[in-house]
Amino acid sequence: VFNFSAGPAVLPEPVLRRAAAEMLDWNGSGMSVMEMSHRGKEFIAIHAEAEALLRELLGIPGNYKVLFMQGGAIGENAIVPMNLIGRTGRADYVSTGDWSERSLAEARKFGTVNVAATSQDTNFTRIPARDTWRLDPGAAYVHVCSNETIRGVQYHWTPDTAGVPLVADMSSDILSRPIDVSRYGLIYAGAQKNMGPSGLTVVIVRDDLLGHALPITPSAFDYRLQAEHDSMYNTPPTYAIYVAGLVLRHVKDLGGLPAVEQHNRAKAKLLYDFLDQSRFFRNEVALQDRSLMNIPFHLKDTALDAAFLKGAQDRGMVQLKGHRISGGMRASIYNAMPIEGVQALVKYMQEFEREHG
Ligand code: PLP
């Protein structure tokens, strides 16, 4: 099937085949990765390789720590302010959709949150222009969501925050394109879209932001403690780290992030070009802010939604139903979605429009 799920999502088939082949015996160890001690030499090698590949692919500078944690991006919505807001007690949040709203609501438990900009007035269909942001120079950080998974709104530029550390939830677009990590103070992402299975959360944090955790911060969620223990303060999600390492190796073999971005652009263009000429299907996001990863679309007549989904399912295209918040459809076309999947979807949409339009 072609799996358009928003996450957990499709993974590269060669990665799954390799994981299956190694399931019972990793590298002649006689053990499954699931059965290994996280402190044994085998797993330490797996962990180190995954981190090295992530550093290489994203070009992570030496003054940043990579942490492999648990709790997902929703956990990070609390863990970030617990670790960072204490420096001044205040943080700026830019709201571009449902995930940034979740982030800022959680942060309010830990300090004063200033909503520096929001696109709520346009039903979250765009990114507010930088010159409209009202940043607080005394904020401990500025938080953005680089790609709003539900409504398909993505930054195609990196905000300048005038020296205040920029924090980004990159859960749904990490590894989809090259980024300049040095422009960020902290990046976090759940793994279950472009990086691997759920259960692993990656945090990339600049050294100077460590060591400011609020006294209430649980030890397992204190970035400084996790950094000092190489993400082994508690037992890390070992199997998820192993699969992420396989995904990262695969991305490197494909030619790294520039090659991946090119592929992602080609896939998204196919679907957006079709939507733009259709009189039956529509996408509501401002052209310059459209996501390359998640493409929501609506049918002209919502009474046909169920028939559309059934026809898609019959043709082997699954998990196209939109998020309950936004309704309609959503095609998530992460790195591992082949272009053939998007071609098949567009072909089906053309047929459906001819029949019902
Ligand atoms: N942030 C973004 C942008 C997401 O897409 C998601 C999940 O879909 C989350 C946060 C929540 O992630 P989790 O459920 O892993 O905590």
213 and 305, same domain (yes or no): no
Number of domain units in the chain: 2
The two tokens of residue 186 are 């902290």
| Same domain, residue pair 247 and 265 | no
Which of 124, 195, 127 lies closest to 156 in space, CA to CA?
A: 127
Q: Rounded to the nearest whole angstrom, what is the distance from the C-alpha of residue 158 to the centroid of ligand 1?
A: 20
Q: Say what the pLDDT of residue 357 is.
A: 85
Among residues 217, 238, 253, which one ends one of the domains? 253
Q: What is the CATH number of the domain that holds 183?
A: 3.40.640.10
Q: According to the model, what pLDDT value does residue 190 have?
A: 98
Instruction: Give the domain CATH number at 280.
Output: 3.90.1150.10
Domain boundary among 190, 224, 253: 253
Residues 160 and 50 reside in one and the same domain = yes
Q: What spacing in Å lies between the alpha carbon of 8 and ligand 1's midpoint?
A: 10
> Residue 70 is which amino acid?
Q
Residue 289 sits in the same domain as residue 244:
no
* Contact predicate 78/70, CB 8 Å: no
Active site (annotated) includes residue 99: yes
> Residue 343 belongs to what domain range?
2-7+256-356
Same domain, 154 and 70: yes
Q: What is the pLDDT of residue 213?
A: 98
Which of 235, 253, 271 is the last residue in one of the domains?
253
Based on the residue annotation, tell me whether 222 is a catalytic residue of this protein: no
Q: Ligand 1: which residue has its CA nearest to atom 12?
A: 73
Q: 146: Cβ below 6 Å to ligand 1?
A: no
- Residue 223 Cα distances to 142, 189, 308, angstroms: 18, 15, 46
Indicate whether 71 and 219 sit together in one domain.
yes
Kindly state if the Cβ of 195 falls inside 6 Å of ligand 1.
no
Residues 210 and 225 in one domain: yes
Same domain, 65 and 30: yes
Same domain, yes or no: 152 and 209? yes
Residue 149: CB within 6 Å of ligand 1? yes
Residuewise pLDDT in 10s, the chain (357 residues): 999 999 999 999 999 999 999 999 999 999 999 999 999 999 999 999 999 999 999 999 999 999 999 999 999 999 999 999 999 999 999 999 999 999 999 999 999 999 999 999 999 999 999 999 999 999 999 999 999 999 999 999 999 999 999 999 999 999 999 999 999 999 999 999 999 999 999 999 999 999 999 999 999 999 999 999 999 999 999 999 999 999 999 999 999 999 999 999 999 999 999 999 999 999 999 999 999 999 999 999 999 999 999 999 999 999 999 999 999 999 999 999 999 999 999 999 999 999 998
Tokens of 210: 């460590």
Q: 172: Cβ below 6 Å to ligand 1?
A: yes
